[in-house]
Amino acid sequence: MQLRHHPTMVGQWPPKRPVGGSYAGADQLKIQSVQLPENAVLHSVEDCPPNDSNKRVMLITDQGSAPIFTNSDPILHQYLLQKLPEYIGRSLKEIGDLKVDF
């Protein structure tokens, strides 16, 4: 299947970047986000944060940075950290088309 259709990616493709936020209540922060366009070009990939249980892979593109939340799938997390550096300079569309078999 394509990365964009992987069960962990449901609702996360294309990735969304934060564009603003405000407090929605005494202890709630409401963060607004927009999807990155699929023509955004990948500049780098980061493990963010590297030692936290709330794992995410951060995609840094020419049109902003966006997290992919992977805490429910450690295999996908490691795969993305290893594979995506090969896609630096390519579009999110090409990354979304990446074949995954797990």
- Residue whose entry in the numeric block shows the structure tokens 């995954």: 100
Q: Characterize 1-38 residue by residue with b for buried, 16 or more Cβ atoms within 10 angstroms of its Cβ, and e for exposed.
A: eebbebebbeebbbbbbeeeeeeeeeeeeeeeeeebee
Residue 11 Ramachandran class (φ > 0 left, ψ -120 to 50 alpha, else beta): left
CA angle (54 as vertex; 49, 60 as ends), nearest 5: 45
Residue 38 pLDDT = 96
- Residue 24 is predicted with a pLDDT of 57
Contact 69, 6 (CB under 8 A): no
| Helix intervals (H) in 37-83 | 74-83
Q: Which two tokens stand for residue 19?
A: 């564009």
10-residue stretch averages of pLDDT, the chain, 102 residues long: 95 88 61 91 90 84 94 92 97 97 86
pTM equals 0.84
